[in-house]
Structure 1
Amino acid sequence: MGSIDKEVEVEIAPFVRIYKDGSVERLMGAPIVPPSSQDPETGVSSKDITISQNPPISARLYLPKLTEPTQQVLPILVYFHGGGFCIDSAFSLNETKYMNSLISQAKVVAISVEYRLAPEHLLPIAYEDCWAALQWVASHSIEKGINNKDPWISNYGDLGRLYIGGDSAGANIAHNILMRASTEALPGDVKIFGAYLTHPFFWGAEPVGSEYRVEREKQITYTLWAMVYPSAPGGIDNPMMNPVASGAPNLGGLGCSQLLVSVAEKDLLRDRGILYHKAVKESGWKGEVELIDVEGEGHAFHILNCETESAKNLIKRLASFLLK
């Protein structure tokens, strides 16, 4: 019989339903689509690759249309998709359309990481997968770094201009990668040049800004974090979720030199993103940080429909950041 007869253990709408037999049903997420040798709208090429068999990490790689293929060396973007650590995919329709749009304008080689999802794979697994993917990319700098080098990265990628980026949970991952990069070297001593964090998934026990108006323990931010990382020391105030929590590592150590934080007016997470931007500015960090605040839009609006005028404008801003 189908899931109608099964007993539900916990449901976190609109993300996942977990049954007592351990099975998981994902309640939302765009359909999976294949890569394209050349996207008809943007001319961007994509392909799917395996980064690691054990642990199983894969990715969708993107290459913009090149005017002079033999001479072009392009910045590299390692990207982490959103979805509350528990839904969506680097291979989904929304993510693929968004990446095609961004990459056609930014002219970067991009690696969209397919990290493992909770609740089957609880945090910190997603963080570890994304760090492993970044290490794999950086290993292209070493002559005998890895056996499974990818020709798009080897032939067109400039590891001197390495960016990371993410949306929502992916932006949370990007922040935590930056913190790790401040204390742990990447292969070949490759450095992350810049990072963008769009609508970052941060939260905390103490309300900030407009969060005073919401009942905190019932918020999806609470229940989702408890589900994806039940063993997190400090719970919702773990520094991986609340970078400004008491005792959190100093943000002055962020491992890049350019940072772009983007928030949206109607997003529940907006004030957290603004607080994070302010905290980075006041931390003594030596890089340049910029904030984009988009009026009239909600969470991940540019991913959910990248055809709107607001989405096109934000993607254009992100692309210009990657062209620095």
Structure 2
Amino acid sequence: MSDEAVHETQPTSMDPYKYLQIVANPDGSITRNENFFPRTPATPDDPSHQHIPVLSKDVFINQSNNLWARIFVPRDNGGDHNKLPLIVYYHGGGFILCSADMNVFHDLCSNMVVQLQAVVVSVGYRLAPEHRLPAAYDDAMEALHWIKTNTQEVWLQKYVDFSNCFLMGTSAGGNIAYNAGLRAAADVDHLTPLKIKGLILHHPFFGGVKRTGSELRLVNDPVLPTCVTDLMWDFSLPLGVDDDRDHEYCNPTVKSGSKVLEQIKSLGWKMMVIGCDGDPLIDRQIELAKIMEQKGVQVVGHFDAGGFHGEELMDPSKAKAMFDLLKNFVFSC
């Protein structure tokens, strides 16, 4: 029997509900452990934050659906005339967990501002299963339209070069950045003056019916076991297709012939895909990068040996190396 067959026939004994610290409710919602990650308050410009190099504040984009964002800016960017690149960031959590104010994402965005000298808008999108896909994609696009039309938000007007925008996400956020990118490419005329230059997919979260080699090899991965990703897709895909891992939201290869991919090429957008071979999703990430390259999109793939899913959120040395990659990518576009 092959190694792949052995792995495929070895079910995990892990309980994904316990792993994710969630409880399913009869009404289709879930109860989450709100302390899954510690939360960090925003750091607005006041005397108590004089020593902090990055300022942040929370703003409502749409109060009716509780869509909000945390904006991060450098305390000193060398003068008001010095406009900075904009990174619109979508956090991870398998579409069902986490928030933009959790410390791992707050710290990542703060450090990104310092290392890249950029402005970051981290979007607090709606979570599944209460709001199944495409709700997160809808929120991602609403955030972009809010950014481009909001003339009252002083930090955006003061700091942002609207012609130099990037969509970035971690894990499920990488999936959101990709799908929001497809929508934005098809609706580019309505985003002016916001001009997207590229997509940055950090350990993006994709799936499919047929298990890949990395998924079989790492079926019982301690960070992202297959039973956990399966549950996340069950909760996030639209009702009626929630058992279809080849739905376009989950498996981007099903729309690999899309004219929107040609549009991304014609717009001159670049794409960066960051991953590592200790992540069960690595094969899917590499496959997406190859598809985009075949479509003529300029792709920068960076895939490390070892590691684990989302490692840059936990390992400062890995994060610093990633920031160096991002800086080169952003300033080459």
Q: TM-score, normalised by structure 2?
A: 0.83
1:93 aligned to which of 78, 103, 111? 103
1:276 aligned to which of 255, 272, 288? 288
1:30 aligns with 2:37: yes
1:47 aligned to which of 50, 53, 57? 57
Q: Please report the RMSD computed on the Cα atoms of aligned residues, expressed in angstroms.
A: 2.6
2:228 aligned to which of 196, 204, 220? 220
Matched residue, 2:26:
20
Q: SS of 1:100's equivalent? A: helix
Shift of 1:86: 0.8
Separation in structure 2 between the aligned mates of residue 310 and residue 168 of structure 1, nearest angstrom: 16
Matched residue, 2:8:
none
* Structure 1 residues 230 and 71: CA distance shift in structure 2, 3 A: closer
Matched residue, 1:197:
201
Matched residue, 1:176:
179
Give the number of the structure whose residues are more often helix, by fraction: 2
Q: Is the 8 A contact 1:106 1:323 kept in 2?
A: no
Matched residue, 1:320:
328
2:140 aligned to which of 122, 127, 130? 130
Q: Is the 8 A contact 1:127 1:173 kept in 2?
A: yes
Separation in structure 2 between the aligned mates of residue 75 and residue 257 of structure 1, nearest angstrom: 15
* Structure 1 residues 50 and 256: CA distance shift in structure 2, 3 A: farther
Superimposed CA distance per residue, residues 247-300 of structure 1 (whole angstroms, 9 cap, x where no aligned partner): 762533336612110011210111110111011001233xx2100112221001
Q: TM-score, normalised by structure 1?
A: 0.85
Q: SS of 2:38's equivalent? A: coil
* Structure 1 residues 156 and 225: CA distance shift in structure 2, 3 A: same
Q: SS of 2:302's equivalent? A: strand
Q: SS of 2:318's equivalent? A: helix
Separation in structure 2 between the aligned mates of residue 120 and residue 187 of structure 1, nearest angstrom: 28
Matched residue, 2:90:
80
Separation in structure 2 between the aligned mates of residue 232 and residue 242 of structure 1, nearest angstrom: 16
Matched residue, 1:157:
160
Structure 1, 267-276 or 23-32: larger mean CA deviation:
23-32
Separation in structure 1 between the aligned mates of residue 75 and residue 320 of structure 2, nearest angstrom: 19
1:102 aligns with 2:109: no
Matched residue, 1:7:
none
Q: Give the counterpart letter for 1:93 in structure 2.
A: N
Separation in structure 1 between the aligned mates of residue 52 and residue 270 of structure 2, nearest angstrom: 27
Separation in structure 1 between the aligned mates of residue 27 and residue 294 of structure 2, nearest angstrom: 48
Consecutive unaligned residues in structure 2, runs of 5 or more:
1-15
Separation in structure 2 between the aligned mates of residue 132 and residue 192 of structure 1, nearest angstrom: 15
Q: Is the 8 A contact 1:42 1:104 kept in 2?
A: no
Q: SS of 2:327's equivalent? A: helix
Consecutive unaligned residues in structure 1, runs of 5 or more:
1-9, 141-145
* Structure 1 residues 215 and 311: CA distance shift in structure 2, 3 A: closer
Separation in structure 2 between the aligned mates of residue 41 and residue 323 of structure 1, nearest angstrom: 28
2:272 aligned to which of 230, 255, 260? 260
Separation in structure 1 between the aligned mates of residue 194 and residue 255 of structure 2, nearest angstrom: 31
* Structure 1 residues 41 and 238: CA distance shift in structure 2, 3 A: farther
Q: Is the 8 A contact 2:163 2:193 kept in 1?
A: no
Q: SS of 1:263's equivalent? A: strand
Separation in structure 1 between the aligned mates of residue 226 and residue 272 of structure 2, nearest angstrom: 30
2:253 aligned to which of 244, 247, 253? 244
Q: Is the 8 A contact 2:214 2:279 kept in 1?
A: no
Q: SS of 1:245's equivalent? A: helix
Q: Is the 8 A contact 1:77 1:163 kept in 2?
A: yes
Shift of 1:42: 6.0
Separation in structure 1 between the aligned mates of residue 320 and residue 212 of structure 2, nearest angstrom: 30
Aligned residue runs from structure 1 range 141-156, under 5 A: 149-156=152-159
1:229 aligns with 2:237: yes
Aligned residue runs from structure 1 range 285-324, under 5 A: 285=297, 288-303=298-313, 305-307=314-316, 309-324=317-332
Separation in structure 2 between the aligned mates of residue 207 and residue 21 of structure 1, nearest angstrom: 31
Q: Give the counterpart letter for 1:318 in structure 2.
A: L
